Amino acid sequence: MNNDKSQALFKKAQQYIPGGVNSPVRACKSVGCDPLFVQKANGARVVDVDGHEYVDFVCSWGPMILGHTPPAVMDAIRETMVNGTSFGAPCALEIDLAELVVNALPSVEKVRFVSSGTEATMSAIRLARGYTKRNVVVKFDGCYHGHADSFLVKAGSGVITLGIPGSPGVPDDIVKNTISIPYNNVEVLEKTLRNESLDIACVIMEPVAGNMGVVQPSPEFMQAVRALTAELGIVLIFDEVITGFRLSLGGAQQYFGINPDLTCLGKIIGGGLPVGAYGGKKEIMDNIAPDGPVYQAGTLSGNPLAMAAGVATINELAKPGFYEGLEAKAAGFAAELTGLAERYLPGQTTLNRVGSMMTAFFASEPVVDFESAMKADTVRYGTHFRQMLSQGVWLAPSQFEAAFISAAQTDADLSFALEKTEWSFKKLAGK
């Protein structure tokens, strides 16, 4: 495959941008290749600068649930754009999106918009600390909540992919206020939360983990997290940056029927533009400036183009049958994938799926937490990734990420991907 143009751009990018990329996982280091530069994308397909076309399972790491350039969203952006791109003053579109969010998410009564998932999570823990007047944040090993200092303790996503345990530049004084415990372990959870000397302000979790690969919470674990935090006056934050508008219109909280106190959103909510949000109970949200003393602000927050893209996206998702259709498609695809794995690599893979997010781990045991995820064969994933890319299928460049099904993927796109998967699995099996 001729990647001359991508290679030339990567070389030039490295001269001006650290590692040549503006987010580390894009560098594709863990899968042993250089990044491809994208020319354009449409529907389920991405085209690189050398003219190769790929069926896309990355979906910009989650946001593109409708596929790329969905007409309704593009029209909304175009119509809004002609009136200006940023005002630094309120606009009506902010209320439109806020109303949609509040109506969609069972636990959210008020919502504040920011510009990224990272901003949403870091603001939510500040609010939880301000509200409870306590300091400690409890998170789970392998969950990723953006790159704010407090979260870079046993974090997922690129932090695992690059094998970084924490990060230089994050002071011990900050890290000492973060406790990271295993996902899906009720015993450790209970012991930690009941330890009164710990001064715990909040528990933040991905209600389905997506950043150590997809890991589903056990029902007992979910119940315990909610019951214990409620009993102990600890704020429960669901980081729904991936699962929000992905698992259902009401996110994971609606999907599982468990309401957190605060919710963080990102990715899908911006319809491909930079938006994050945090919201929850009025009683807590009213502590944010200007109503309350907890400070949080943003020059581009509530940006009109981003709000318009978010509104148009959610209106598409709210159409009857959207999530049922996506679930059926994802379930069918996962069943076929499992069949291929059993046929060619028996006992060597584990597929985790919740709705339209899934990870096929090259692991022989069930993957239920960070420790079991780490047993996956990343070298083998790298080979599979490169083989799939060479055949026109764009997977996440890391074993520890989700593959996303989008509304734009047709049966033909999925059959194509399965055919290529069969070819790649056969090669991995030495057949």
Give me the residues that bind ligand PLP (CB under 6 A), please.
116-118, 121, 144-146, 206, 210-211, 239, 241-242, 266, 276
116, containing H or E segment? none
Nearer to ligand PLP, 116 or 254 (CB): 116
The answer to whether residue 282 is catalytic is no
Quote the least distance from Cβ 121 to ligand PLP, whole Å. Answer: 5
Nearer to ligand PLP, 23 or 195 (CB): 23
- Residue at token pair 């406790």: 179
Question: Residues 358, 364, 367, 370: what is their CA dihedral angle, to the nearest 10 degrees?
Answer: -110
Quote the least distance from Cβ 321 to ligand PLP, whole Å. Answer: 26
Quote the least distance from Cβ 63 to ligand PLP, whole Å. Answer: 9
Nearer to ligand PLP, 357 or 367 (CB): 357
Nearer to ligand PLP, 399 or 424 (CB): 399
Contacts of 246 (CB under 8 A, 6+ apart): 62, 65, 267, 268, 355, 356, 357, 404
| C-beta separation of 263 from 238 below 8 A | yes
Quote the least distance from Cβ 267 to ligand PLP, whole Å. Answer: 6
| C-beta separation of 86 from 300 below 8 A | yes
Q: In which region does residue 367 sit, left (phi positive, over 0), alpha (psi from -120 to 50) or beta (all else)?
A: beta
Nearer to ligand PLP, 340 or 373 (CB): 373
Quote the least distance from Cβ 26 to ligand PLP, whole Å. Answer: 12
Quote the least distance from Cβ 117 to ligand PLP, whole Å. Answer: 2
Nearest residue to ligand PLP, scored by beta-carbon proximity:
117
- Residue at token pair 């909304």: 76
Tell me which of 29, 110, 154, 267 is the catalytic residue: 267
Angle at 81 between CA 77 and CA 82, to 5 degrees: 135
Nearer to ligand PLP, 167 or 410 (CB): 167
End-to-end Cα spacing for the chain: 23
By three-state DSSP, how is residue 49 classified? Answer: coil
Q: Report the candidate in 21, 422, 65, 425 with the shortest Cα–Cα distance to residue 242.
A: 65
Quote the least distance from Cβ 348 to ligand PLP, whole Å. Answer: 27
Computed on alpha carbons and rounded to an integer, the radius of gyration of the chain in Å comes to: 21
Beta bridge partner(s), residue 354: 357
Nearer to ligand PLP, 209 or 340 (CB): 209
212, containing H or E segment? none
The answer to whether residue 144 is catalytic is yes
Cα–Cα distance measured from residue 79 to residue 406, given in angstroms and rounded to the nearest whole number: 25
Quote the least distance from Cβ 289 to ligand PLP, whole Å. Answer: 21
| C-beta separation of 53 from 390 below 8 A | no
Tell me which of 56, 141, 239, 413 is the catalytic residue: 239
Cα–Cα distance measured from residue 116 to residue 301, given in angstroms and rounded to the nearest whole number: 9
Nearer to ligand PLP, 6 or 121 (CB): 121
Cα–Cα distance measured from residue 220 to residue 351, given in angstroms and rounded to the nearest whole number: 21
Give one DSSP letter per residue of 233-258, joined into a string: TPEEEEE-TTTBTTTBTTHHHHHHT-
By three-state DSSP, how is residue 205 classified? Answer: strand
Active site residues: 144, 239, 267
